[in-house]
Structures are given as C-alpha cells and as structure tokens.
C-alpha cells in the first residue's frame, strides 16, 4: 500500500479525498526524483576517483545506474530486500575497518595537533567558537561562508523543523510504504526503532574514521585548496591513500552497494504510485496482472530517465540536499501535520496545502539564494539562513493553503472521521468526534498516553544522540566520554524497554479491539 492509498483512511472517498490522493502521488514523484538527483551526482563524483576508465562523473553515474536498474526493475521487491541485506553487511564490515584503521594510524595526541580546542566537545554555545586560523586558515572563512558561526541558532532551527516533520509522520514516499508494509502498529514501531540502531553505529564509525584520517594526513591538501575547498573530494582521496589494497576494493564495493541500496528503494517506490494510484484506480481497474507488471517496468524506467536528466545538470550535491531539507520537506509538513491533529481538516485542505507547498518548494529556495541583501546579512553574521528560512517560508505558504482549502469547504463526513478516530486514536483537536464516538460506544477509551509518549520522546532523543556520540568517541579514542555515552545508551534503552517496548503490546490489543468494533459497525 502507498501513502496515497492510505489517505482514504483519513478523508474517505469523496472529491476532496480524490484530490488529496492525486497530490500525494505528485509529491511522491517529485520527492523520488529529488532524491534520485542527489544520489546521481554523489555517486558520479565518488566513482570518478576510483574506477579505472576515463569517464566524467556523470558518465560513471549513468553506467552504475544502468546496471542497478536492470536488477531493480526486473527483480522487483524481493531482489531489493535480498540485495539490501547483503549490501548492508558489506558496508558495515567496511565501515568498522575504516574506523579501526583510523584508530591505529592516528593516536589522540596526534589528532589534537590538527584540530582546534573544543573540536571534540559534544556541547556547544550560541557560537561555534572553533578557531582554525593556525591549522587550516581558510576553514574559518568556509564556516562563515556556509553560515555555521551561529551554530546554536542553526541547531535550534533544525530541532524545530525536525519536531514538525516528525509530528507530521512518515513522508508519503517509500518511508510510508515501509511503515504500511508492517503487519501491525507494534511491528511498525519496532521497525522504525531498530533502523536507528542498525544504521547509526557503523555509519559513524566510517564517518569519524574518514574525518580524522583526512585531518591528520590531508590537512596540507585542504590548505592548498584555499577558499575553494571541495569537501566532497575528501572521502575518495582519504580512502585511496590510507586503506590498503583488497580492503579498499571491499570498501568501494560497500559504498557503491550503499548507493545501489538507496537507489533501489527509491526506484521501487515509484511503480505502485503509477500503477495502483493512477492506472488501476482511474484508468483500467480490471487489467490483467501482466499489464500491471509491464506498466511497473515502464514507470520505473521513466523515473530513472527523468532522474538522470535532472541529476545530469545539477552542479552540487549540497544544492540538492538544501532544496530537499528546506523546500521539499517544508512543502509536505503542514498538510501531513494537520491531518493527524485537527478533525476539521479535510481533503480539500490537504490538496491545496500540498499544492501550495510543492509550488513554494520549487520557487522560494532559489529566490532566497538570489537576494543580495539577505546573503550579505547572513554572511556578515556567519548565519545560515537558507535551510531554516526556506523551510519556514515554504511551511508558512503551505499552512495558508491548508487553512484556506479547509475553511472554504465542508468538513468530511462524520462516519469517515469517527472510523479514523477509532482506528488511530490521534492526539489534538478531536473533541467533537470523540463525543460522537463515546455516545455510540460508552466503553470506548481515548488515548491517554500523551505524557508517556512525550517522556519517551525526550528519552529517545537522548538515546539517539548518545548512540551517535558513542562510535565517534570510540574512534577518536576518548574512552571516558565513550563510556559515558554507552551508559546513556544503556540506561535509556532500559527505560524505553519499560515505557515504550512493553507498552506496544497493550496498544496493539486496544487498537485491534477498536478496529474490530469499527469493522462490525461498518
């Protein structure tokens, strides 16, 4: 099931729900192509430094994408699952190997010669306060240019954005498909939680290992770049110099596998939207299975072609990342936030919120980059405004579209809203619907776990930060801090076992009972 199919659960099957369904499909295709372009540019620059032929980065990316497309399109979801498991194992082995190599080659006292005071401190103030002038003079200018001087402001803006995005739930792309593929809410919660554990630890072993290898042995090269530092070149150059033959090939295979894994998931997210949500629903609901499979092949191929064309003309990986973070996420957040927490929000509001959000995400970030006064202000204060300001403006425009579309049209049918409330038991402004549900079924219990959930959010954030800090401190051999991070992970894990994991079974039983009552009434 796709996020577009699920939208009927919230808005029913009326005209507004159909518009909401269509706009989710549009958003899914836009986001899939955006992520595709990001991956296309990144894998091309990486491959050009290692593979032996005299091709441009774009040409390398095209070759790798062509190879991956063959098994992704032909093999379908089963091939994606099997290869993702194998690719993750390869990448994990390679990641731990890089971290161990860095620990063997760079002792703590050596590392301290190449980093400013406070570099290894987890905590920070309003300003970043890292003075690179005696080590890499151009780094200070780069920090100011990228706007990370007021680091506290940047982190607060990202935290606020992250809270809104998390409250909006999974994006209606392959994230939503993975959640909906689980058997029940308990397994969906476990899947989401386990991903953090599995992916975080090996990933930061690799990142930290490459970082300290580059700092200790690549600083001269970075200084020679001056103000034209290309940080995207650090990874391949550090690997080529410090990882021995054999292991280097294994590591390159692992990094290519990681890209192919993300690429496979992205491409496989597209066919269900085209086949199930467009062709099967609106054009030919009675076509043969063979027809649907052929259309799946075709839609995958079309997405690949469009993604290649977009990625071919992208000049920077960072440009795509900034657009995704500031624009695209801001475009979907308002609609998907309100659908959970406000009973009056309807399909028309969802549609117009997404339309204005997608439009704003395609126009506002480029406009911000072309305002000299704004860029001069940001540069003078070492303030990064592109991401937080872009997100806020796109979110604001989308919110206006949501409210206008909702208040100028009729609310959804009460039967649809009551069914949704019984099944999901959401937080927020649902009092009119709750009264009707309780009137029909006095035994119905609303969700009373708000404070438990908020407590788990705070504990979960601490657990997540400590889980990231642990491999970093291990690789830089700051073992006292690593022990502290490990203790936080252990304590937080025990708390979450009691307050979150053990509680999932109870929630599963309650929600199953409410769903059964709802189905019986239907």
Mean pLDDT, rounded, for 438-457: 89
Residue 19 and residue 160 in one domain: yes
Task: Point out the least confidently predicted range of 358-362, 426-430, 436-440.
Answer: 358-362
Residue 257 and residue 364 in one domain: yes
pLDDT of residue 201: 84
Among residues 357, 386, 412, the one where a domain terminates is 412
| Domain that residue 47 falls in | 3-119+130-182+190-412
Among residues 366, 388, 412, the one where a domain terminates is 412
Give the rounded percent of residues in the chain with a pLDDT score beyond 90.
23
The model's confidence at residue 517, banded by pLDDT at 50, 70 and 90, is low
Mean pLDDT, rounded, for 107-126: 85
Residue 441 placed within a domain: no
The model's confidence at residue 193, banded by pLDDT at 50, 70 and 90, is confident
pLDDT of residue 479: 93
Q: Are 311 and 365 in contact (CB under 8 A)?
A: no
Residues 172-189 pLDDT 10s: 666 777 788 888 888 888
CATH of the domain at 20: 1.20.1730.10
pLDDT of residue 172: 67
Residue 112 placed within a domain: yes
Residues 345-397 pLDDT 10s: 999 999 999 999 888 887 877 776 677 665 555 655 556 666 677 778 888 99
Task: Point out the least confidently predicted range of 175-189, 193-207, 307-321, 443-457.
Answer: 307-321
Mean pLDDT, rounded, for 22-40: 79
Residue 302 placed within a domain: yes
Residue 423 and residue 375 in one domain: no
Residue 424 Cα to chain centre, angstroms:
24
pLDDT of residue 386: 62
Among residues 387, 412, 437, the one where a domain terminates is 412
The model's confidence at residue 212, banded by pLDDT at 50, 70 and 90, is confident
Residue 392 and residue 300 in one domain: yes
pLDDT of residue 186: 85
Residue 387 and residue 422 in one domain: no
Beta bridge partners of 383: 148
pLDDT of residue 377: 54
pLDDT of residue 405: 96
The model's confidence at residue 231, banded by pLDDT at 50, 70 and 90, is low
**CB crowding 60-74: b at 16 or more within 10 Å, else e:** bbbebbeebbeebbe
Nearest-CA neighbor of 256 among 37, 33, 60?
A: 60
Residue 384 placed within a domain: yes
Q: Are 432 and 399 in contact (CB under 8 A)?
A: no
pLDDT of residue 251: 78
Residue 90 placed within a domain: yes
Give the rounded percent of residues in the chain with a pLDDT score beyond 70.
86
pLDDT of residue 468: 92
Query: Rounded to an integer, what distance in angstroms lies between the CA atom of residue 112 and that of residue 517?
Result: 64
Q: Are 173 and 269 in contact (CB under 8 A)?
A: yes
119: left (phi over 0), alpha (psi -120 to 50) or beta: alpha
Which residue is associated with the tokens 């788990």?
456
Residue 106 placed within a domain: yes
Residue 420 and residue 400 in one domain: no
Residue 422 and residue 359 in one domain: no
The answer on pLDDT for 440 being more than 60 is: yes
This prediction has a pTM of: 0.80
Residue 58 and residue 203 in one domain: yes
The answer on pLDDT for 168 being more than 60 is: yes
The model's confidence at residue 474, banded by pLDDT at 50, 70 and 90, is very high
Residue 455 placed within a domain: yes
Residue, of 470 and 249, whose pLDDT is higher: 470
Query: Rounded to an integer, what distance in angstroms lies between the CA atom of residue 7 and that of residue 350?
Result: 10
Question: Which DSSP state fits 371?
Answer: -
Residue 337 and residue 475 in one domain: no
Residue 394 and residue 468 in one domain: no
The model's confidence at residue 91, banded by pLDDT at 50, 70 and 90, is confident
Residue 396 and residue 465 in one domain: no
Domain tally for the chain?
2
A 10 A CB-CB count for 365 gives 25
**CB crowding 286-302: b at 16 or more within 10 Å, else e:** eeeeeeeeebbeebbee
pLDDT of residue 158: 77
Residue 401 and residue 453 in one domain: no
Average pLDDT value for the chain: 82
pLDDT of residue 157: 76
Residue 125 placed within a domain: no
Residues 236-249 pLDDT 10s: 666 777 777 888 88
pLDDT of residue 229: 67
The answer on pLDDT for 64 being more than 60 is: yes
The model's confidence at residue 497, banded by pLDDT at 50, 70 and 90, is very high
pLDDT of residue 324: 62
A 10 A CB-CB count for 3 gives 28
Task: Point out the least confidently predicted range of 84-88, 223-227, 296-300, 322-326.
Answer: 322-326
């Amino acid at each position: 099931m796709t996020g577009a199919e699920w939208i009927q659960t919230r808005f029913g099957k009326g005209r507004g729900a159909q518009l909401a369904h269509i706009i989710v499909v549009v958003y899914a295709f836009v986001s899939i192509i955006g992520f595709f372009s990001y991956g296309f540019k990144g894998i091309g620059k990486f491959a050009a430094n290692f593979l032996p032929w005299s091709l441009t980065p774009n040409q390398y990316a095209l070759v790798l994408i062509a190879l991956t497309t063959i098994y992704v399109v032909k093999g379908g979801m089963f091939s994606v699952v099997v290869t993702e498991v194998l690719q993750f194992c390869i990448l994990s082995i390679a990641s731990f190997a890089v971290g161990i190599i860095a620990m063997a080659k760079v002792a703590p006292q050596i590392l301290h010669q190449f980093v400013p005071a406070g570099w290894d401190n987890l905590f920070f103030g309003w300003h970043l306060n890292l003075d690179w002038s005696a080590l890499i003079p151009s780094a200070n200018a780069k920090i100011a240019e990228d706007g990370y001087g007021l680091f506290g402001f940047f982190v607060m803006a990202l935290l606020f954005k992250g809270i809104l995005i998390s409250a909006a739930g999974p994006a209606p792309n392959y994230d939503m498909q993975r959640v909906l593929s689980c058997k029940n809410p308990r397994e969906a919660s476990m899947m989401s939680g386990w991903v953090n554990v599995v992916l975080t630890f090996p990933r930061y072993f690799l990142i930290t290992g490459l970082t300290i290898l580059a700092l200790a042995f690549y600083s001269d090269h970075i200084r020679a770049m001056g103000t034209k530092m290309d940080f995207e070149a650090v990874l391949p150059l550090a690997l080529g110099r410090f990882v021995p033959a054999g292991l280097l090939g294994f590591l390159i295979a692992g990094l290519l596998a990681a890209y192919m894994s993300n690429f496979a998931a992205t491409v496989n997210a597209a066919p269900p939207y085209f086949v199930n949500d467009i062709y099967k629903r609106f054009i030919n609901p009675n076509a043969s299975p063979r027809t649907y499979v052929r259309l799946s092949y075709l839609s995958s191929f079309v997405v690949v072609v469009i993604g290649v064309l977009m990625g071919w003309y992208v000049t920077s990986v960072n440009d795509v990342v900034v657009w995704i973070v500031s624009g695209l996420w801001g475009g979907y957040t308002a609609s998907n936030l309100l659908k959970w927490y406000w009973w009056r929000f309807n399909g028309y509001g969802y549609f117009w919120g997404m339309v204005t959000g997608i439009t704003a995400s395609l126009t506002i970030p480029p406009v911000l980059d072309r305002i000299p006064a704004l860029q001069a202000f940001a540069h003078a204060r070492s303030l990064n405004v592109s991401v937080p300001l872009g997100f806020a403006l796109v979110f604001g425009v989308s919110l206006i579209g949501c409210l206008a579309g909702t208040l100028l049209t009729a609310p959804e049918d009460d039967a649809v809203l009551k069914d949704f409330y019984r099944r999901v038991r959401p937080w927020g402004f649902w009092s009119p619907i709750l009264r009707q549900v309780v009137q029909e079924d006095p035994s119905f219990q609303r969700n009373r776990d708000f404070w438990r959930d908020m407590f788990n959010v705070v504990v979960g954030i601490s657990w997540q930060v400590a889980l990231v800090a642990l491999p970093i401190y291990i690789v830089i051999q700051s073992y006292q801090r690593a022990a502290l991070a490990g203790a936080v992970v252990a304590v937080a894990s025990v708390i979450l076992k009691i307050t979150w994991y053990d509680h999932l079974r109870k929630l599963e039983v309650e929600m199953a009972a409410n769903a059964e009552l709802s189905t019986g009434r239907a």
